[in-house]
Amino acid sequence: MIATLPTTWTSAKLSDICQINPRGKSGLADDDEVTFVPMAAVSEFSGTIVSPETRPLREVQKGFTPFQEGDVLFAKITPCMENGKAVIARNLVNQRGYGSTEFHVMRPTPLVIAEWIFAIIRTKEFRRAAASSFQGAVGQQRVTASFLESFRIPLPPLSEQQRIVEILQEAEGIRRLRAEAEAKTAELGSATFFHFFGDESKQHKSLPLRELVEEFRYGTSQPSGERGATTLRIPNVLGDRISFEDLVRVEENDAALERLRLQTGDMLFVRTNGNPDYVGRCGVFDVEDASLNIGDNSPVIYASYLIRARLKSEIMRPWFLHAYLKSPIGRARILKQARTAAGQYNINTEGLGAIKVPVPSLALQDRFLLEALENRQITEKIRLSERNMTAFEESLSAHAFSGRLTADWRDTNSEQIAYEASERDQALYSTRKQIVSYATSPEYRGIVEVIFKDRTDGIYSDLNSEQRFLLREVNRMFAGVDYGRYFTAEKIADEIEGPLHRNPQGVLAHLQVFAVRGLLIPVSRRRKDATGSPFAGCYRLPLKASGGRTFSGVEDIELPEQPGDDVRGELMKIQRRLATGTI
C-alpha cells in the first residue's frame, strides 16, 4: 500500500497513530448502561452497527472487548475479516461499548481521523496483508495484534484525509443505492416462489434433505498457496450466487481432485461462522459460469468449511431448493439445525440432512424456474453494474491512498497542507521519541533533545518535511558523541522508517542536500569488503562547537577534520563552502 507518496505525506505504523486494543476503566457504575455489539450486529456491507443492544455495565465488563465513541472496530476472525467487516463506533450509550472478543480495537490519536483508518482497513490490499498474518486452525484463523501494530499506512495531513474520505463516502453512497436495488430484486424472487408454492405444508409433501441428496461431502483442508486447483471459500458463497472473486489455490492429489471437483448443479453450504446469517448460506455451482469468470476449464474445488450437496436430479432441481432455503421458512429450518459453541455457529451434514423440504413435481419446479429467470436476468444486469462499480472503486482507492486523487486540491491549499504536515511530523517525532529507550544518562538525553530540536533558521530553512524527518533520524542514530560516526545512504535506508525505508537513492538525494548546506560532512572511506567501488560514499555529522571555527549561519556546530576524513572529503567541504558563499 505504501508507494511513492507526495512530499507532504508520510507513512506511519498503526501503533504510532492509534492505540491498539486499549484498556482502562470506563468510569461508569455497574448499573450504568452501555452499548453491546455482537459480531452479527455489524454490517459488512455498510460498515455500520445495524442492531446494537443496550446492557448494564456489570453484564459485559468482563469477558467482552471494551471500546468507546470514535474507536474503529475490526473483525479479526476469518471469514468476517476477509469480507471487510469493520465499523466506527458511533452513538454509543454513555460513550462506551463492549462487544465480541473477535474484534480488534483501534483508537485514533489526533494525528488521524477514524474515517481514514476505516477506509484503509476495508481495502482488499489491507485484507490480503492481514490474511498473511493469520494464526490458528483453518476456519478459525485470526489476525494478530502484532500485525496491526506494525502495519504501515499512508498518512496525509488531516485536512487532506478529510477531503479524500468525503470523496470515498460519495462513491460508497452510490454503491449503497445499487445494493438496495439488488435487494428489491431479490424480494421479487421470494414473491415468485410463494406465488407458486404458498404454504408448502398444505400443497406438497415434504422430505428430509438427506433423501434428496446423492452425497454430502466436506471440502479440502489443505492450506492455500501459489499453485493448485482453484478453490472456493466462505466469501465466495454469497447466498444468492457463487462469486469468483478473491479465489485461492490449493494443491491436492489427483484422487482428491476427482472427489472434490464441482459439477453444474452442485450446491455449496457454509457450515461454520461466527455470524449466524452465514451458517447454511448456499449457492448453486455452474461450470460454464466458472469458466467464464476464471478464464479456463480447470477443476474448481472447495474448502473444508463448505459442504457440497449433489442432488438427485430426478427429484429435486438445485435452483428450486436454493430458492426455498433462502425463504424465511427455509432459513428458520436451517437455523433450527445449527449449533453454537465458543461463539461459533455450525451445521453439519446430519443437520442439513434433517431439514424438511417441500417436493413439488419437477414440472412445477421447472415452471417456477422459467418464471424466476426474468428476475435472475434483472439481477445479472445489476450485478454487472456492480462489478463496474467495484472496478471504479478500486481505481478510486488506488488514487486516493497514493495522493493522486487530491493532487490539484493539494496545490490549491499548499500553505495549509505544508503547515499541517510540519505539525504532524513533529507530533510523530514526539511519539517516537517517547518510546525510544536511550538507556543512558540524563545528561545524554538532554543533549539528544537539543540535537533533535527542529531548526528553521539559516541553513535549516527551506527543508521539506521529509528532509526534516530524515535529519532528525540521522541525529537520533549518530549524534551525542564527541567524534565522527560514519554512515552511508544504504545504512540509513535499511534502518529508517517511512517512505524512505529501503530507498537508498531517496536517502542519498537528501543527504547530498544536507552536505551542500553544511549539515553533514561527506567523506570517502575504504570499503572493508572487496566488492564494488574501493571507496564508500560516507557522511558524518558536524561536531558540537567548542570554541573552534563554526559554520556561517549556525552557531552550534563546527567542521573540524576527523581521522578518516580524506582528500575527497576535504574537496567536498571546499565545494560546499564555495556554494554557500563562506569563502
pLDDT of residue 315: 93
Domains of the chain, by residue range, sit at 10-155, 156-200+361-412, 205-359, 436-580
Residue 454 · residue 497 · CB < 8 Å: no
Between 84-98, 309-323, 457-471, the lowest mean confidence (pLDDT) is in 457-471
Write the pLDDT tens digit of every residue in 414-448.
888 988 988 888 888 776 555 443 323 344 344 33
Measured distance CA(195)–CA(280) in Å, rounded: 24
Q: How confident is residue 336, by pLDDT bands cut at 50, 70 and 90?
A: very high
% of the chain beyond a pLDDT of 90: 34
In three-state secondary structure terms, 494 is helix
Q: How confident is residue 26, by pLDDT bands cut at 50, 70 and 90?
A: confident
Write the pLDDT tens digit of every residue in 77-98.
887 887 788 999 999 999 999 9
Q: Is the pLDDT of residue 559 over 50?
A: no
- The candidate with the shortest Cα–Cα distance to 257, out of 222, 292, 295, 209, is 222
More confident residue, 556 or 101: 101
Q: Is the pLDDT of residue 43 over 90?
A: no
> What is the third-level CATH fold of 156-200+361-412?
Helix Hairpins (1.10.287)
Write the pLDDT tens digit of every residue in 519-552.
888 876 555 544 444 456 788 887 654 444 344 4
- Within 10 angstroms of residue 408's Cβ, the number of other Cβ atoms is 9
Write the pLDDT tens digit of every residue in 161-179.
998 988 888 777 666 666 6
Q: How confident is residue 451, by pLDDT bands cut at 50, 70 and 90?
A: very low
List, as own/partner pairs, every contact residues 247-256 make where C-beta atoms lie below 8 angstroms and the sequence separation is at least 24, other chains included: 247/294, 248/224, 249/224, 249/225, 250/220, 250/222, 250/223, 250/224, 250/225, 250/301, 250/303, 251/222, 251/225, 251/227, 252/220, 252/222, 252/228, 252/301, 256/220
Q: Which range, 131-140, 218-227, 550-559, has the best average confidence (pLDDT)? A: 218-227
Measured distance CA(202)–CA(576) in Å, rounded: 96
In three-state secondary structure terms, 552 is coil
Q: Is the pLDDT of residue 211 over 50?
A: yes
Q: Is the pLDDT of residue 578 over 90?
A: no
- Average pLDDT over every residue of 213-239: 91
- The candidate with the shortest Cα–Cα distance to 39, out of 318, 409, 344, 486, is 344
- SS3 per-residue string spanning 341-395: ECCEEECCHHHHHHCEEECCCHHHHHHHHHHHHHHHHHHHHHHHHHHHHHHHHHH
- The domain 436-580 having CATH identifier 1.10.10: the answer here is yes
Nine-digit cell string for 476: 537520533
For domain 10-155, give the CATH number.
Answer: 3.90.220.20
pTM, to two decimals: 0.52
Q: Tell me the β-bridge partners of 108.
A: 18
> What is the third-level CATH fold of 205-359?
Adenine-n6-DNA-methyltransferase TaqI; Chain A, domain 2 (3.90.220)
Residue 122 · residue 47 · CB < 8 Å: yes
10-155 and 205-359, same CATH topology: yes
Residue 462 CA from chain centroid, whole number: 36
Between 45-54, 209-218, 384-393, 534-543, the lowest mean confidence (pLDDT) is in 384-393
CB-based contacts of 514, cutoff 8 Å, min separation 6: 467, 471, 474, 520, 539
Q: How far is CA 328 from CA 8, 269, 275, 344, 365, in A?
A: 54, 17, 17, 22, 19
pLDDT of residue 138: 63
